[in-house]
A and B are shown apart, each in its own frame.
Chain A
Amino acid sequence: MLHEKVDASVKRIEVLNEYESFIGRKVFFISALILLILFLCGISISLGPLKFSVLEVYATILDKFFPNFFDVPELAPIVIWDIRLARVVTGVLAGIGFAVAGAVIQGILRNPLASPFTLGISAGAGLGAALAIIAGVGIGSSSGFLLVGNAFIFSLIPSLVIVGLARFKRATPETMILAGIAMTYIFSAISSLIHYFADPDALKDVMVWLMGDLGRASWGDLYIVALVLIICFPVLMWKSWDLNVMGSGDESAKSLGINVERTRVFVMMIASLITAVIVCFTGMIGFIGLVAPHITRICIGGDNRFVIPASGLFGAALLVAADIISREVLAPLIIPVGIVTSCVGGPMFLYLIIRKKKEYW
């Protein structure tokens, strides 16, 4: 009897330890990603017409905060702070935003094939851009703000329509995905109509805008993106456990006390906001939002308390790496990074699907 009791408590401690080390592995994964991002940023900034070493890059950046400690090469402060750093920070923020939005959208739709663009955001932004560039109409007055404002507002319209639909029809994943597809078709059709009557130069501008580029955002734009992320990220983390519970299906989630429909709509709005605010400054950068959460789950499992931050970091690393490739492959020509993410991401994704051992869907 006593023996059994001792046995049982030993087993308890074993299980608990195993669980703690499982958590530990996830924390390690996240820390490793942070280091990787810092390293990739260093490499990215060091490359260009004027080459620096990676250490010189770090020295130049730290010099701003701790002057007179470091050896800073000539011209480096101007090149790095005024030109290259904004691009890399855009990459990091956009990567985090797209991937976090992708992770939670996959969570609420219970569909690993969903991405921030599943709900029609890309088609909305495309229409907004087409209206601004070709027709010159929309929200905002100065030409730069017109494009950004238009893209932002229009990319949110599909989500708002889906939220409206959820009032009449219950917000199940199926209705939301189907509504997103419908919105994509409608918005694409209107965009196509505008394209059809556009002159070729304006049309090219629209196409290039859509391809996605990290070089457009100014420091001022980045503050806006950072602010939105700083506000939205904790909100999503707060909902992370509810997302876990919703992974077992609506019925189980309801029986565990979750207001499933309200949570779904709320998280969708947050994710749409994050995506829209990034898309309007960078254009469409595909694949990060789909692939980063997916690979993260393959690495650390499906617990959203860790999947959300880890996908964000993984997305950032992926986008910064893709940006390095986009600038170096045909240097000095810069390929739009959206093309690179899809070219590199597609095969990588296929490889992971073929290799994966666990069943996902």
Chain B
Amino acid sequence: MSTPILQGVHLELARSEVLSIVGPNGAGKSTLIRCINRILNPQKGSILLDGSDVIHMSRMELARQLGYIPQSDHQSFPATVFDVVLMGRRPYMGWNSGQRDKEKVLDVMQMLNIEHLAMRDINEISGGQRQKVLIARALAQEPDVLLLDEPTSNLDIKHQLEVMDAIRSLVAEKNISAIMAIHDLNLGSRYSDRMIMLDKGVIAAVGSPFTVLTQDNIKQVYQVEAAVKDEDGFPYVVPKSTIRNNVGGGCFR
């Protein structure tokens, strides 16, 4: 068998907690997210939701408890924003939608302030708006846990903050939890209760943003010299330089 992507990852998530997973490219952040809702099937190990293992649940059951927000989501055929959010009701309905489903769709669109986009085509709106639509679709699933894969990549700073604010307030309002893979250490530190730093499939550090985002951890995991400052009570990482890796590495100058 090929080398495992994740190994010995043990973590617990409390209700209304936001957990960020950080780590370099290829550390297994997205893989971890996808194993939780079985987009990928782990070879070993278990994932418990309120005590029951997801391996034994049907996809439909899982879809009622876990809402997934992919990094990007290209709709191959024209679809209105309303219809895309309505897809989030699939775990609750048969082949057709009822009045209750439509009401739910309106609820979540109102919550995220995207009602005005309802009849627009999903492929014609901006990246920030699309991210909110995907969050709305996940919320329409009425999940207990939101899984987010790089929710802010490709967004400008205003939309990054808007999306993160939305996630934060939804978690508090609906008393649900969120796990997100995120590249931007500073956004992660600002918006999460706890962080996990993955390094080559293994947990390198876990705890509050201050315990995880230390100079040493960043140096070890990312091979980057960085300064960590305190900005409004959050750790703020300023990357300075990469550490030259002499083993087999070429010299650039």
Contact = CB atoms under 8 A, between A and B. Distances in A.
Given A22-B80, A254-B38, A257-B90, A358 B68 contact: no
Given A247-B75, A358-B121, A19 B34 contact: no
Given A241-B96, A254-B59, A255-B66, A360 B77 contact: yes
A17 to B, nearest CB: 11
B115 A248 contact: no
A309 to B, nearest CB: 13
B23 interface: no
Given A238-B95, A244-B87, A359 B123 contact: yes
B95 A237 contact: yes
A359 B59 contact: no
Nearest to A20: B102
Contacts of A247: 75-77, 79
Contacts of B91: 256-257
- Name, among B67, B79, B93, the residue most crowded by chain A CB atoms within 10 Å (CB to CB): B79
A211 interface: no
B33 to A, nearest CB: 10
Interface in A236-276: 237-242, 244-245, 247-249, 251-252, 254-259
Interface string B32-59: 0010011100000000000000000011
Contact of B77 (A11, A112, A238): A112
Nearest to B88: A256
A248 B84 contact: yes
B78 A254 contact: no
Contacts, number: 119
Contacts of B93: 241
Contacts of A112: 76-77
B79 A301 contact: yes
- Interface size class on chain A is 35 or more
A241 to B, nearest CB: 5
B90 A15 contact: no
A257 B59 contact: yes
B78 A297 contact: yes
Nearest to A234: B95
A16 B106 contact: yes
B77 A297 contact: yes
A110 B73 CA distance: 13
B139 interface: no
Contacts of B96: 241, 305
Given A11-B115, A257-B59, A244 B79 contact: yes
B127 interface: no
B74 A303 contact: no
A247 B122 CA distance: 12
Contacts of A19: 80, 82, 102, 118-119
B102 A241 contact: no
A245 B74 CA distance: 12
Contacts of A12: 106, 110, 115
A361 B76 CA distance: 6
B83 interface: yes
Contacts of A256: 63, 87-88, 90-91, 141
Interface string A87-119: 000000000000000000011001110000000
B70 A249 contact: yes
Interface string B119-132: 10101100000000
Contacts of B94: 238, 241
B141 to A, nearest CB: 7
B100 to A, nearest CB: 13
Nearest to B83: A303
B62 interface: yes
Interface in A292-351: 297, 301-303, 305
A287 to B, nearest CB: 19
Contacts of B34: 251
Nearest to B102: A16
A35 interface: no
B60 interface: yes
Contact of A255 (B63, B75, B118): B63
Contacts of B123: 358-359
Contacts of A255: 37, 39, 63, 66-68, 70, 147
Contacts of A237: 95
Interface in B175-233: none
Given A15-B118, A305-B96, A358 B78 contact: yes
20 contacts: A16-B102, A16-B106, A19-B102, A22-B119, A111-B76, A241-B90, A241-B96, A249-B73, A251-B34, A251-B39, A254-B38, A255-B63, A256-B91, A257-B59, A257-B64, A259-B59, A297-B77, A302-B75, A302-B78, A303-B79
Interface of A: 8, 11-12, 15-16, 18-19, 22, 106-107, 110-112, 237-242, 244-245, 247-249, 251-252, 254-259, 297, 301-303, 305, 358-361
Given A8-B110, A18-B119, A258-B59, 17 more contacts: A19-B80, A19-B118, A112-B76, A237-B95, A241-B94, A247-B79, A248-B74, A248-B75, A251-B34, A252-B68, A252-B70, A255-B67, A297-B77, A302-B75, A302-B77, A305-B95, A358-B124
Interface of B: 34, 37-39, 58-60, 62-64, 66-68, 70, 73-80, 82-84, 87-88, 90-91, 93-97, 102, 106, 109-110, 115, 118-119, 121, 123-124, 141, 147
